[in-house]
Amino acid sequence: MAEILTSKSSKGDTIVEVAPHKTSEGLILVNTGNGKGKTTAALGVALRAVGNGLRVLILQFIKGGSTYGELKAIKALQEAGMPIEIRPMGKGFIFHNKETSETDLIAHKAAADKAWQMLTDEVMSDRWDLVIFDEINYAIKFGLLPVEQVVTLLEQKPARLHVVLTGRDARPEIIAKAHTVTEMQVVKHAYEQGIKAARGIEF
Amino acid sequence: MAEILTSKSSKGDTIVEVAPHKTSEGLILVNTGNGKGKTTAALGVALRAVGNGLRVLILQFIKGGSTYGELKAIKALQEAGMPIEIRPMGKGFIFHNKETSETDLIAHKAAADKAWQMLTDEVMSDRWDLVIFDEINYAIKFGLLPVEQVVTLLEQKPARLHVVLTGRDARPEIIAKAHTVTEMQVVKHAYEQGIKAARGIEF
């Protein structure tokens, strides 16, 4: 239902405004937890969205996070004329493990700042209907992105833009901004049974 | 490591056969829980798998479970020459809610048996590398498919075939057969905030 707002003008008249129907508020979705399927579910959303004619950008905050299979399938969708793009954020967000040296962290931080600018430009450009911030929660966790910066971007993004954020250990500030948060939890995992990851299925 | 099998021929000679290398045991994955992303993550796996050249069949156990967006994107992948197919299991597994009448249930059961035969034929045909049983847990839950029948199929399927089963309330018998089980849990949901589902994102 349209919202009716009333206020007083400087002359004391009552001004009645009808706010536009909020049909197309962009959703902020978060996939977190220690289980499988956070990035995979985001890819599924991308597939559904692009099939509906939405323009989709996937930004990867871990270099090499996407596999050959995903890239090839996305390329096939592009060649079919669908507006979908996947873009690694380059050096900015590389980190191999928690043991990264302090020197490395400083270099990464500088590169991350540059990558952040590109990310902000894309989000604010209004060229996209859905932007996936894949594994961004890691970049926040490892101190490469201040969480406040991400929260501010979520507040300032085009209202109708949908955003999906993925990665373990989503910060409470991000969860507070989200409309829908799903936690993927491991009930059991093939690794525990000594089975190595299957190409095409798990990577 | 390749397995070496020896046997005696009818003339008493020793025949040495080298069994094919068992690199590729098929995984059984289950996406369950009350949260978003069960089917969506399965779609993401399908995208990754087909990009890796695997032949993918998606069987839908709820009629109309897939949306226009998914179907269109999958059609685009097919037109790009990728071996992916999505198939509704037809009338067999329709059910609108838990209030289905007993008469309806009997009709559904008969149709479900026919659908089950088709499903079994596809799984056993060895034409596929990945088969997604989308929302099959509902069909089991509502008594349209005996869980033992599904377990037996998982035991008898081609060894290298990957299977993903989705839907809430996965039965313990199914979980016992799976290599990897992920529970998608709602932390918060847009519905709770009075926001209606967004086309292209949530359906």
Q: What is the pLDDT of residues A9-20, one digit of tens each?
A: 444 444 444 443
> d(Cα B137, Cα A186) in Å, to the nearest integer?
18
Q: How is residue A7 written in tokens?
A: 């206020």
Query: What is the count of structural domains for chain A?
Result: 1
Would the pLDDT of B121 be above 90? yes
Whether residue B3 is contained in a domain is answered as: no
SS3 of residue A77 by DSSP: helix
Under an 8 A CB cutoff, do A41 and B40 touch?
A: yes
Look-up of token digits 């493990």:
A97
Mutate one of B50, B52, B77 to test the A interface: name it (highest A CB count within 10 A).
B52
Tell me: the pLDDT tens digits for A70-100? 889 999 999 999 999 998 886 666 655 555 6
Contacts of B72 in chain A (CB under 8 A): 51-52
Confidence of residue A144 (pLDDT cuts 50, 70, 90): confident
Whether residue A156 is contained in a domain is answered as: yes
Which one of B68, B80, B203 has the shortest CB-CB distance to A76?
B80
Q: What average pLDDT does the segment A136-159 reach?
A: 92
> d(Cα A51, Cα B47) in Å, to the nearest integer?
13
Whether residue A201 is contained in a domain is answered as: no
Whether residue B179 is contained in a domain is answered as: yes
> d(Cα B67, Cα A53) in Å, to the nearest integer?
13
Per the rule left: phi > 0, alpha: psi between -120 and 50, beta: everything else, A12 is: left
> d(Cα B41, Cα B171) in Å, to the nearest integer?
19
Task: Determine which helix (DSSP H) or strand (DSSP E) holds B77, and give its type and residue range.
Answer: helix B68-79
DSSP state of A28: E
| C-beta separation of A122 from A133 below 8 A | no
Which residue type, as a one-letter code, is found at position B73?
A: A
Q: What average pLDDT does the segment B62-70 reach?
A: 71
Under an 8 A CB cutoff, do A49 and B201 touch?
A: yes
What ranges make up the beta strands (E) of B33-83?
56-60
Domain extent at residue A52: 24-193
Percent pLDDT > 70 in chain B is 79
Q: How is residue B6 written in tokens?
A: 């020896």
Under an 8 A CB cutoff, do B70 and A47 touch?
A: yes
Would the pLDDT of A136 be above 50? yes
Whether residue B4 is contained in a domain is answered as: no
Whether residue B131 is contained in a domain is answered as: yes
Of the spans A103-112, B99-108, B138-147, which averages the highest pLDDT?
A: B138-147
Under an 8 A CB cutoff, do B71 and A51 touch?
A: yes
Contacts of A103 (CB under 8 A, 6+ apart): none
Confidence of residue B3 (pLDDT cuts 50, 70, 90): very low
Q: Which of A57-71, A116-130, B161-175 has the lowest mean pLDDT?
A: A57-71
- CATH number of the domain residue A121 falls in: 3.40.50.300
Which one of B43, B76, B181 has the shortest CB-CB distance to A82?
B76
The angle that helices A102-124 and A147-156 make with each other, rounded to 10 degrees, is 0
Q: Are strands B180-188 and B130-134 parallel, antiparallel or unpaired?
A: unpaired
Under an 8 A CB cutoff, do A48 and B40 touch?
A: yes
Residue B91: which of B103, B105, B108 has the closest Cα?
A: B108
pLDDT at B5: 43
Contacts of B25 in chain A (CB under 8 A): 195, 198
Under an 8 A CB cutoff, do A181 and B188 touch?
A: yes
Would the pLDDT of B199 be above 90? no
If you count residue pairs, one on A and one on B, with CB atoms under 8 Å apart, how many are there?
Answer: 231
> d(Cα B16, Cα B6) in Å, to the nearest integer?
5
pLDDT at B196: 75
- Pick B18 or B177 by higher pLDDT: B177
> d(Cα B158, Cα B185) in Å, to the nearest integer?
32
Contacts of A181 in chain B (CB under 8 A): 186-189
The angle that helices A38-51 and B38-51 make with each other, rounded to 10 degrees, is 80
Residues β-bridged to residue B131: B57, B163
Whether residue A19 is contained in a domain is answered as: no
Under an 8 A CB cutoff, do B49 and A36 touch?
A: no
> d(Cα B28, Cα A138) in Å, to the nearest integer?
28
| C-beta separation of B44 from B70 below 8 A | no
Whether residue B96 is contained in a domain is answered as: yes
